[in-house]
């Protein structure tokens, strides 16, 4: 349905409304758009955060693998654990079934705490600018 030329002349002209910033040309925080200028300080902080998170992840992984290898080696190399039974179940089976999960949860919480600490430090550095 198109309007006749007389009806189109009676309507007000279209106005484009955009959200402006308080200071034109002020840098914005958030998503970097293609072609937008990159703040070198932000890039350095972001790379530092990525490196610290990677270092934390590798450290946690290495510690986790070491503890798991030690537990599995203990279960394998100490056959006397099969002779000890709790409620008719050998201790080696109980360690396999229930002893490894607290280790997993412990390392997950350790990583979560470290990652949160890294994020807090990153935000504190950015806010100091």
**Closest to 116 (Cα-Cα) out of 105, 104, 108, 127:** 108
Bridge partners of residue 85, in order along the sequence:
90
**What is the three-class DSSP state of 12?**
coil
Identify each DSSP E strand in 29-118 by its residue range: 85-86, 89-90
When pLDDT is cut at 50, 70 and 90, the band that residue 96 belongs to is confident
The two structure tokens encoding residue 106 = 């412990």
When pLDDT is cut at 50, 70 and 90, the band that residue 14 belongs to is confident
Q: Is the pLDDT of residue 127 over 90?
A: no
Is the pTM higher than 0.85? The answer reads no
The 10s digit of each residue's pLDDT in 31-44 is 656 666 666 777 78
pLDDT greater at residue 75 or residue 109: 109
Span 64-74, average pLDDT: 92
């Amino acid at each position: 349905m198109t309007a006749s030329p007389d009806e189109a002349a009676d309507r007000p002209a279209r106005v484009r409304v955009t959200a402006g910033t308080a200071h034109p040309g002020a840098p914005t925080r958030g998503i970097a758009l293609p072609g937008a200028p990159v703040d070198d300080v932000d890039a350095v902080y972001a790379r530092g955060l990525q490196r610290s998170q990677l270092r934390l992840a590798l450290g946690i992984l290495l510690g986790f693998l070491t503890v798991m290898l030690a537990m599995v080696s203990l279960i394998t190399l100490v056959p006397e654990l099969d002779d000890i039974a709790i409620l008719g179940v050998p201790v080696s089976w109980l360690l396999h079934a229930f002893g490894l999960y607290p280790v997993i949860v412990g390392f997950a919480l350790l990583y979560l705490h470290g990652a949160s600490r890294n994020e807090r430090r990153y935000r504190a550095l950015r806010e100091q600018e």
